[in-house]
Structure 1
């Protein structure tokens, strides 16, 4: 079993710089950013969401911790969008060494409890089109597609 434990400041610093790089890479792969400004645009978007780091209003940043070994196996970042009565998942990652063990599914089940405690009634998220494994997990957890953006690159 896992627990969602609020990130420490050190965990946040490690997460933050990695997040900027990974988000830029995903945006590049999806064709949303150009290589020359990907990191700068990624940093700007994330700074807008987390202007005060861990203390940013309505932002919940967790370490995903496996109970028995007290081992950090991943991270989860969620924002409360109170006007929509929704929690929005900005990032979830299970570290590579711990994947394929059910930790992501367990994290989302724990997240449902946290969202209810916040008085919210819905969980939303975005998944890149190229992330088929995540799409399969979310479908298994009962998420439904609400929008689909498509593009065709011309030669």
Structure 2
């Protein structure tokens, strides 16, 4: 396995954006943050706010994760401020999960982050995503906030 990150093409970005809006809305619903009604429009608005110029938005780096010619996923890194980056999204496409691509992609993100002068990377992970949480802990990420709720 040779994992590389390649800058997304415009076509790849459009495919990703359609997926990302739907996925983000569903994750927000699943975690209890949003109701079904209006979730897609909220997710679209959030993505438009964060990426006003799409893949050409300054200080945002959108990559297709590849294993040779095979597209296995995507990752979105942003240079926030004070030399701190933030991974807004990372996805390994269905059928490629559980093969080590996520771990290798995260290592590639760290290399790129250093190259662009970042000293730290943050990310958000939904509490119900135990697989991702475990991966990030293995890679040295530590929890900085924990939000807990109870339905009554």
TM norm structure 1: 0.95
Residue 111 of structure 1: CA displacement? 0.7
Provide the secondary structure at the position in 2 that maps to 1:35. Answer: coil
- In structure 1, which of residues 116, 133, 143 is the aligned counterpart of residue 141 of structure 2? 143
Structure with greater proportional helix content? 1
Cα contact 1:82–1:120 (8 A) shared by 2 = no
Cα separation, 1, equivalents of 2:22 and 2:39: 9
Gaps of 5+ in 1: none
Distance 2:78 2:14 in 1: 18
Alpha-carbon separation, structure 1, partners of 2:115 and 2:25: 32
Aligned partner of 1:107 among 99, 105, 108: 105
Q: TM-score, normalised by structure 2?
A: 0.97
How many aligned residue pairs are there? 151
Cα displacement string for residues 38-59 of structure 1 (whole angstroms, at most 9, x for unaligned residues): 1111111111001100111111
Unaligned runs of 5+ in 2: none
Once superposed, what is the RMSD of the aligned Cα atoms? Answer: 0.7
Cα distance in 2 for partners of 1:100, 1:40 equals 31
Match of 1:117 among 115, 118, 126: 115
Partner of 2:76: 77
Runs of 4+ in 1 over 6 A off after TM superposition: none
* Aligned-residue offset at 1:82: 2.5
Q: Do the aligned residues in 2 keep the contact of 1:61 with 1:78 (CA within 8 Å)?
A: yes
